[in-house]
Amino acid sequence: MKKNLFIGALTLTAAPIFAQQAVQRPNIIFIMSDDHASQAISAYGHPLSKLAPTPNIDRIAKNGAQFWNNYCANSLSGPSRASILTGKHSHKNGYLANWNKEFDGSQQTLPKILQENGYETAIIGKWHLISEPTGFDHWMILDGQGDYNNPDFITDNDTVQYFGYVTDLITTFTKQWLQTRDRDRPFFLMMHHKAPHRNWVPAERHYNLYEETEFPVPENYFDEYEGRFAAKNQEMNIYRDMYEGHDLKMVTGIDSDTLLFDPWPDAFINTLTPYEKKRFFEAYRSRNNDYYNTDLTEKEIALWKLQRYLQDYLATIKSVDESVGQILDFLEQSGLDENTIVIYTSDQGFYTGEHGWFDKRFMYEESFQMPMVMQFKGEIKPGTQVHGLTQNIDFAPTFLDFCGIKIPEDMQGESFREMVVSGSTPEDWRQSLYYHYYEYPGIHSVRAHYGVKTDRYKLIYFYDEDIWELFDLENDPTEMKNIFGEEGKENITEELKKELSRLQKLYEVPGI
Ligand SMILES: [Ca+2]
């Protein structure tokens, strides 16, 4: 104790100016989960989330701001993470798809800039960019997608398997780092959860959390995709494309402890110890037996699968919400909340049965949108609602702005600091967003496309097939009716095509 006081006194006398700066610059905790739909965050008010609320994520919204029109640039894990790190669209940071060889860590990134400006930087949890993290004083990452149970964590000198549930382990490691960090420097911490990514394995304490819950079925669950070629030709349908063992935890028969089809047992069932495996099968037994004891029609099976998927998806989110609660409690108890910006977001949105789907990729709202809430005591007023169009390329410039660091000119995003602090959209704020998805051919068979979104309209071009789609989000919020080519839509189509072309020039999209 005496020793600490002595060092503290020395620091104060030796570098008073730096110490003053360090106090003024905010810390940042960027919490990001994987595939968390806004439909599954109760602050967004979707009927689904009412049955599975997220009180702790909602706490951030109540303490600060909630973003209603926040979107990704390319709805996929690696590309979204690369855009967040660089403040650039995929074609500029080089990470177009999850098939990429590796993220080019030699380029300019947000953590590097913060580090150069006196910040201590850390990332704990999912990285998913293949190359080793750069720009971080401390990193402890999952191997690729990471396992839900007993996962490996990689550091710069080792790979170690830890026993426990992935969300809980990430929370523990994050709190440990917060307690052992350099107190003389502000910090930037990325806490990246694996949950609720496929295959939706809840923590053991949550296996049965929602087994009695009947979740609402989206009106377009049995979508027939009329007038939408790419939507019709995907492979991300819950009742057709989910793996019955791996994804839905279905077994071979009554009282069976053998899963139906599971192509990746080493990433799931084999990660459990024999005793954990026994408890897993026991927890699902009565539901799995009911399935075999009931005579279901094809349609009823499709609905049964939706319920099973949502029960597990939302149960994994329960652990994420608990984790957020633990971090907020820690910040409040330590007084760190006074000068720490806390963000909760997901790398993209996700389908919870809309169009019959799980997964993401499409420029349609559910997967294009990224939920986001953000608190910063003193600057952001509690209960702020942000409606301007924001995108993940804006995160890096915004954080630099809050930290008082010059935003590099080659970052393509814009700082939304003014918007979130004032609670209103500045008059000169952007009126449209650019989107580009590349990963085709690839898992789930979603055709490559780019497009433009405004407040009301969305124009999408599936360029390999030369197919356009136009949606009026005001009259058709679930994007069921492609009105491209319809009489009376010539002017808006022309306007949107011009805007798309302007954005592609602005962002220097090659080969368009
Ligand atoms: Ca993801």
Closest CA to 309 of 52, 33, 45: 52
pLDDT at 24: 78
CA of 80 to the centre of ligand 1 (A): 8
DSSP type of residue 73: S
Structure confidence by residue, pLDDT tens digits, 269-319: 999 999 999 999 999 999 999 999 999 999 999 999 999 999 999 999 999
Secondary structure of 382-409 as H, E, C letters: CCEEECCCEEHHHHHHHHHHHCCCCCCC
CA of 266 to the centre of ligand 1 (A): 20
Taking the C-alpha atoms of residue 225 and residue 480, their distance in angstroms, rounded to an integer, is: 7
Burial of 346 from C-beta contacts in 10 A (0-12 / 13-18 / 19+): buried
CA of 76 to the centre of ligand 1 (A): 5
CA of 340 to the centre of ligand 1 (A): 26
Cβ-proximal residues to 491 (8 Å cutoff; 6+ apart), any chain: none
CA of 349 to the centre of ligand 1 (A): 8
Taking the C-alpha atoms of residue 80 and residue 304, their distance in angstroms, rounded to an integer, is: 32
Structure confidence by residue, pLDDT tens digits, 78-130: 999 999 999 999 999 999 999 888 999 999 999 999 999 999 999 999 999 99
Residue with token string 């990514």: 197
What confidence category does residue 22 fall into, taking pLDDT thresholds of 50, 70 and 90? very low
Average pLDDT of span 61-72:
98
CA of 494 to the centre of ligand 1 (A): 33
Element (H, E) at 462: strand 457-462
- Decide if pLDDT at 46 tops 90: yes
CA of 320 to the centre of ligand 1 (A): 14
CA of 139 to the centre of ligand 1 (A): 20
What confidence category does residue 378 fall into, taking pLDDT thresholds of 50, 70 and 90? confident
The token pair that represents 91 in the structure block: 């074609």
DSSP 13-41: HH-HHHHHHHHHSPEEEEEEESS--GGGS
CA of 348 to the centre of ligand 1 (A): 6
CA of 226 to the centre of ligand 1 (A): 27
CA of 36 to the centre of ligand 1 (A): 8
Residue 497 CB neighbour total at 10 angstroms: 15
Whether domain 24-200+312-429 has CATH 3.40.720.10: yes
Burial of 385 from C-beta contacts in 10 A (0-12 / 13-18 / 19+): exposed
Structure confidence by residue, pLDDT tens digits, 391-449: 999 999 999 999 999 999 999 999 999 999 999 999 999 999 999 999 999 999 999 99
CA atoms within a 13 Å half-sphere pointing along the CA-CB vector of 335 = 1
Q: What are 140's strand-pairing partners? A: 124
Cβ-proximal residues to 456 (8 Å cutoff; 6+ apart), any chain: 472, 473, 474
Q: Return left, alpha or beta for 321; rule: phi > 0 is left, psi -120 to 50 is alpha, else beta.
A: alpha
CA of 477 to the centre of ligand 1 (A): 23
CA of 75 to the centre of ligand 1 (A): 8
Closest CA to 79 of 64, 100, 60: 100
Taking the C-alpha atoms of residue 366 and residue 74, their distance in angstroms, rounded to an integer, is: 13
- Distance of CA 454 to CAs 390, 423, 470, Å? 11, 20, 12
Distance of CA 322 to the CA centre of its chain: 17
pLDDT at 8: 37
CA of 170 to the centre of ligand 1 (A): 17
When the candidates are 2.60.120, 1.20.1250, 3.20.20, 3.30.1120, the CATH number that belongs to 436-506 is 3.30.1120
- Decide if pLDDT at 5 tops 60: no
Residue 3 CB neighbour total at 10 angstroms: 7
pLDDT at 80: 98
CA of 212 to the centre of ligand 1 (A): 28
Whether residue 138 contacts residue 125, with contact meaning beta carbons closer than 8 Å, is answered with no
CA of 489 to the centre of ligand 1 (A): 34
CA of 431 to the centre of ligand 1 (A): 26
343 φ, ψ (degrees, to nearest 5)? -120, 140
Percent of the chain with pLDDT over 90: 94
SS3 (DSSP) at 302 = helix
The token pair that represents 190 in the structure block: 């990325």
Secondary structure of 154-172 as H, E, C letters: ECCCCEEECCCEHHHHHHH
CA of 77 to the centre of ligand 1 (A): 4
CA of 298 to the centre of ligand 1 (A): 30
Residue 94 CB neighbour total at 10 angstroms: 15
Percent of the chain with pLDDT over 70: 96
Q: What are 33's strand-pairing partners? A: 346
Taking the C-alpha atoms of residue 269 and residue 492, their distance in angstroms, rounded to an integer, is: 51
Average pLDDT of span 484-495:
98
Taking the C-alpha atoms of residue 122 and residue 134, their distance in angstroms, rounded to an integer, is: 10
Whether residue 43 contacts residue 66, with contact meaning beta carbons closer than 8 Å, is answered with yes
Closest CA to 142 of 120, 112, 167, 175: 167
Whether residue 64 contacts residue 382, with contact meaning beta carbons closer than 8 Å, is answered with yes
CA of 40 to the centre of ligand 1 (A): 15
Give the amino acid at 150: N
- Decide if pLDDT at 10 tops 60: no
Average pLDDT of span 120-142:
98
Helices (H), 423-489: none
CA of 110 to the centre of ligand 1 (A): 20
CA of 23 to the centre of ligand 1 (A): 35
Average pLDDT of span 177-199:
98
CA of 197 to the centre of ligand 1 (A): 7
Whether residue 315 contacts residue 185, with contact meaning beta carbons closer than 8 Å, is answered with no
CA of 51 to the centre of ligand 1 (A): 23
Whether residue 221 contacts residue 480, with contact meaning beta carbons closer than 8 Å, is answered with no
Q: Can you give the residue ranges of every domain in the chain?
A: 24-200+312-429, 223-309, 436-506
CA of 362 to the centre of ligand 1 (A): 13
